């Protein structure tokens, strides 16, 4: 199970974390020809509360569908970051929204920080695409799926009227992540 890659997308209910997980898993399973399982955990609220979506990608059969030792995690809120960062493996990646997560957790993992929601709002015109931008960043930081696969998966899932916006958000994610350096501990 050495090639098992585990990703966790966490934030608050309504931020599109589960959708981000689904798109990532589809990119791997449908467009990159690997095995993928996506699962989720959320509270009874339809908005708010800590939400997480997990994606396991492997070339082998995936048995346990939940994360055991996380390669990369996204945290869009402080609450989700605090609650869910403990399973990140040594040398793993934590990507946080710079404005939302002020208290950066300590651990043997690399932390990348970027104001994802603010950037989406100011430069893309809509905060709602922050999850797609984050998806681009996680793809760039991990290389777990190809750019083509994630783009196809995003375009297959979003409403027609917003194809360009989402494509722009995804590519902004690729570019911003490329320039990003880990936060000094």
Partner 1 sequence: MERKFIQGNEACSEGALYAGCRFYAGYPITPSSEIMEVMSVRLPKVGGVFIQMEDEIASVCAIVGASLGGLKSMTATSGPGFSLMQEGIGFACMAEVPCVIVNVMRSGPSTGYPTGPSQADMMQVRWGTHGDHPMIALTPSTVQEILTETVRAFNLAETYRTPVVLLYDEVIGHMREAITLPKEGELEVVDRARPNCPPEEYRPYDISKGEIPPLAAYGEGYRFHVTGLYHGEDGFPTGNTKLIEEANKRLLSKVEKNREKIWKNEDFYLDDAEIGIFAYGVSARSAKFAVKELRKKGIKVGLLKPLTIWPFPDKAVREMAEKVDTIIVPEMNLGQISLEVERAAGGRCDVRGIYRVDTEPIHPQQIMDAILSREELTLPTELAERDMTDG
159 near partner 1, rule: CB under 8 A: no
Joined together, the tokens standing for residue 6 give 């585990």
68 near partner 1, rule: CB under 8 A: yes
Rg of the chain over all Cα atoms, to the nearest angstrom = 15
Q: Which residue of 19, 35, 110, 118 would you call a contact of partner 1, by CB under 8 A? A: 35
165 near partner 1, rule: CB under 8 A: no
146 near partner 1, rule: CB under 8 A: no
Q: How many residues bind partner 1 (CB under 8 A)?
A: 22
Angle at 47 between CA 177 and CA 73, to 5 degrees: 30
CA distance 166 to 158: 8
CA distance 133 to 75: 13
22 near partner 1, rule: CB under 8 A: yes
**Residues in a beta bridge with 56:** 6, 37
Tell me how crowded residue 185 is: count the other CB atoms within 10 A of its CB: 9
10 near partner 1, rule: CB under 8 A: no
Q: Which residue of 7, 17, 29, 81 would you call a contact of partner 1, by CB under 8 A? A: 29
Q: Which residue of 5, 17, 20, 36 would you call a contact of partner 1, by CB under 8 A? A: 36
Joined together, the tokens standing for residue 87 give 């399973």
Identify which of residues 18 and 138 has a Cβ nearer to partner 1 in the complex: 18
Binding site for partner 1 (CB under 8 A): 1, 22, 25-26, 29-30, 35-44, 62-66, 68
């Amino acid at each position: 199970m050495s090639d098992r890659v585990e990703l966790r997308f966490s934030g608050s209910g309504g931020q599109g974390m589960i959708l981000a997980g689904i798109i990532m898993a589809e990119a791997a399973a449908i467009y990159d020809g690997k095995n993928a399982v996506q699962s989720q955990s959320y509270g009874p609220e339809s908005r708010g509360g800590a939400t997480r979506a997990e994606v396991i990608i492997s070339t082998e059969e995936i048995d346990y569908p939940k994360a055991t030792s996380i390669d990369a995690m996204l945290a869009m809120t402080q609450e989700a970051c605090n609650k869910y960062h403990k399973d990140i493996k040594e040398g793993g990646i934590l990507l946080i929204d710079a404005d939302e997560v002020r208290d950066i957790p300590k651990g043997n993992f690399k932390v990348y920080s970027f104001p994802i929601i603010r950037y989406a709002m100011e430069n893309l015109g809509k905060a709602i695409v922050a999850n797609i931008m984050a998806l681009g960043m996680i793809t760039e930081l991990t290389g777990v799926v190809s750019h083509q696969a994630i783009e196809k998966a995003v375009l297959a899932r979003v409403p027609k009227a917003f194809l360009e916006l989402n494509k722009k958000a995804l590519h902004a994610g690729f570019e911003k992540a490329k320039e990003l350096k880990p936060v000094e501990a």
